[in-house]
Amino acid sequence: MTATTDGSTGAANLRAASASHPTDTTIAADDVLTAARRAAERSVEHLLGRQDEQGWWKGDLATNVTMDAEDLLLRQFLGIQDPATIEATARFIRGEQLGDGTWATFYEGPGDLSATIEAYVALRLAGDRPDDPHMARAAGWVREQGGIAGARVFTRIWLALFGWWKWDDLPELPPELMFFPKWVPLNIYDFGCWARQTIVPLTIVSAKRPVRPAPFALDELHTDPSSPNPPKPAAPRASWDGIFQQLDKVMHLYHKVAPRKLRRVAMNAAARWIIERQENDGCWGGIQPPAVYSVIALHLLGYDLDHPVMRAGLASLDRFSVWREDGARMIEACQSPVWDTCLATIALADAGLSPDHPALVKAADWMLGEEIVRPGDWSVRKPELAPGGWAFEFHNDNYPDIDDTAEVVLALRRVRHPDAARIEAAIERGVRWNLGMQSRNGAWGAFDADNTSPFPNRLPFCDFGEVIDPPSADVTGHVVEMLAVEGRAHHPGTRRGIEWLLAEQEAGGAWFGRWGVNYIYGTGSVVPALIAAGIPASHPSVRRAVSWLESVQNDDGGWGEDLRSYQEEKWIGHGPSTASQTAWALLALLAAGERDGRAVERGVTWLAATQQADGSWDEPYFTGTGFPWDFSINYHLYRQVFPLTALGRYVYGDPFADRAPVRKGA
């Protein structure tokens, strides 16, 4: 695919624009409204121009260079190196290196040890020499941080594939997990779907322990090459960490004595599970990491590269490539067309585009075609529930998600489609499925109900981020808002969701953001939901949220929150202003009745002032998450859809209340 140019100019434009309009807090209300309307009109035209002819929108999904490094490592492992691809990927990796020689996992973030090791190894495979200045800086920093021994498990697995690390020094993950029934702790359905799709193929890799000869040594990345893996302090035996460390030792002993026939049957069961979940486009779950490990696992079991499953899997990986204008190649961890399309539809409708505008009807048609009408892994816990959800990606019938389904319903409800009965039927199925996926505590997770086992995160193997899918405030807020819009504000499920949200509010007035950064996202998701469900703007929880948002507004009038807020309290609600986070704050304040307040006027003014000439916004900062802190995402369409939604609601008000005549368009 061809790369978009949004996001390439960095933070300089934002800072320059903010400097040109430092606060603008004295601007007249009429002038703010005029500026907002003009900005919305420009944004509408920009967004309409980015719609695919099939009806969908999709922005780039940027993560970090481990995706790119692991792509090169996979090609090395399979022996399918292509010089042009190697050089284009290496060019991208080099371009992401920081001045101190490290690679971060998000914009302006600190150097990350595992990302730096993987990037370094990938560049060595691409031909960069250890004594090249940029490589020497990276290696020196890695040694200062403890060397390869300090890296995450996944990094060391990749190194073990080439003999740069010992398999005996990695946590064990036996394929016999496949035999655990769903009521036994640590069965594969105790893991979140993204972890499950990765862990199943890795059980095969862990059992096979392959080693392909490395083309060079990596002594320069060890603090002491003669003792590359110094023993780590053991956790107290009576602690959970200590118990799982002892369990891992038992699993290592079992690896040596595992009955061959049983192990073979277990690996074949894992292979069947993998193949059954391969999507029509050859990928697995629409996510790059499970696809990579599934290809490796099947290859180790004897599937040659010409096998139809392998050919389709490898072809699907190429679709994660984004080729940039400078010749560099970036790998997306995932693609987000359904998510981007429903959010774009909401933004355009709320900005006054006619509900029967051809662009919205075309988007609705495409979303209707993406509805998932067969059971997936979610039905293991909900076997009686009929399907009716939407996934995040182009092809992912096994894993529809609750968040996408709620937002697609909200988007479809805004469209005046010529086949109204078809819209109503799809909405009804989506509402029913979302209600059926409610967890026992009254809230909603992203992919599964009650995926809250405390054990998976304790495994020594699982140090790569969140591996379970507990309910979150942002997803629950979106579902509650959708149910309220659908006239089910008093449904028992909705009321239980509201009670959970009210109980989850932080003392300071904010809500934690699981899938967006962070408390601004959580608060921007929950407050509109509460108001839509009938909670009055005068409710103490709403007033505390308003006070918190006002307290963290930046001097320039915008809002921002750094990803470090997931680890350090001082960052909560604080960071450079961004278009998406400013919009989230505005959506909450507008819902809470603060349209004429100073905070809203300043926020709207900031959005209008920082808009670019083509109607877009620049946003190099990462405001999305896969795993809080551990895996950060820059959704390139967030900077377009959320500001437009906020401006539209400022100009036209609540989209489901009496409002000004809609903006007509051909």
393 closest CA partner among 585, 197, 525: 197
Q: What is the pLDDT of residue 233?
A: 72
Q: Which residues contact 650 (CB under 8 A, 6 or more apart)?
A: 33, 36, 586, 590, 595, 600, 604
**Rounded Cα–Cα distance for residues 80 and 354 (Å):** 50
Strand-strand pairing, 329-331 and 321-323: antiparallel
pLDDT band for position 27 (50/70/90)?
low
**Rounded Cα–Cα distance for residues 117 and 164 (Å):** 12
pLDDT band for position 199 (50/70/90)?
very high
Residue of 71, 377, 401, 403 marked active site: 403
**Rounded Cα–Cα distance for residues 628 and 593 (Å):** 31
123 closest CA partner among 156, 90, 84: 90
Quick check: 88 and 323 in contact, CB under 8 A? yes
pLDDT band for position 243 (50/70/90)?
confident
CATH number of 66-331: 1.50.10.20
Which tens digit of pLDDT belongs to each residue from 578-602?
Answer: 999 999 999 999 999 999 999 999 9
CB neighbours of residue 428 within 10 Å: 13
Which tens digit of pLDDT belongs to each residue from 648-658?
Answer: 999 999 888 75
Q: Which residues contact 246 (CB under 8 A, 6 or more apart)?
A: 237
Amino acid identity at 258: A
Quick check: 408 and 421 in contact, CB under 8 A? no
> What sign has the CA pseudo-torsion 139, 144, 147, 153?
negative
Quick check: 105 and 631 in contact, CB under 8 A? yes
Extract the tokens encoding 387: 């399907």
Q: Which residues contact 339 (CB under 8 A, 6 or more apart)?
A: 392, 403, 404, 407, 635
Extract the tokens encoding 87: 């050089």
Higher confidence at residue 402 or residue 457? 402
Which tens digit of pLDDT belongs to each residue from 123-134?
Answer: 999 999 999 999
Diameter of the chain measured on Cα atoms: 78
Domain ranges of the chain: 12-62+334-456+466-652, 66-331
**Rounded Cα–Cα distance for residues 630 and 617 (Å):** 26
> What 3-state class would DSSP assign to 88?
helix
Is 403 catalytic? The answer is: yes
Which tens digit of pLDDT belongs to each residue from 33-46?
Answer: 999 999 999 999 99
Q: Which residues pair with residue 632 across a beta bridge?
A: 625
609 closest CA partner among 26, 48, 13: 13
Percentage of the chain exceeding pLDDT 90: 84
> What 3-state class would DSSP assign to 343?
helix
pLDDT band for position 228 (50/70/90)?
confident
Architecture of the 12-62+334-456+466-652 domain: Alpha/alpha barrel (1.50)
Q: Poorest-confidence range of 12-16, 290-294, 637-641?
A: 12-16
Cα separations in angstroms, 136 against 17, 115, 151: 38, 16, 18
Q: What is the pLDDT of residue 460?
A: 76
pLDDT at 665 over 80: no
Q: What is the pLDDT of residue 201?
A: 96
pLDDT at 194 over 60: yes
Q: What is the pLDDT of residue 14?
A: 36
617 closest CA partner among 638, 589, 645: 638
**Rounded Cα–Cα distance for residues 504 and 506 (Å):** 6
Quick check: 517 and 623 in contact, CB under 8 A? yes
**Rounded Cα–Cα distance for residues 472 and 453 (Å):** 15
* Mean pLDDT along residues 40-53: 97
Cα separations in angstroms, 537 against 590, 594, 648: 10, 9, 20
**Rounded Cα–Cα distance for residues 111 and 102 (Å):** 5
**Rounded Cα–Cα distance for residues 188 and 305 (Å):** 27
Instruction: Give kind and range of the element (H or E) at residue 631.
Output: strand 631-635
pLDDT band for position 240 (50/70/90)?
confident
Q: What is the pLDDT of residue 115?
A: 97
Higher confidence at residue 664 or residue 202? 202
> What 3-state class would DSSP assign to 657?
coil
**Rounded Cα–Cα distance for residues 427 and 431 (Å):** 6
**Rounded Cα–Cα distance for residues 666 and 660 (Å):** 19
Domains 12-62+334-456+466-652 and 66-331 agree in fold? yes
**Rounded Cα–Cα distance for residues 168 and 238 (Å):** 24
Q: Which residues of 397-419 are buried (b: 16+ CB within 10 A; e: fewer)?
A: bbbbbbbbbbbbbbbbbbbebee
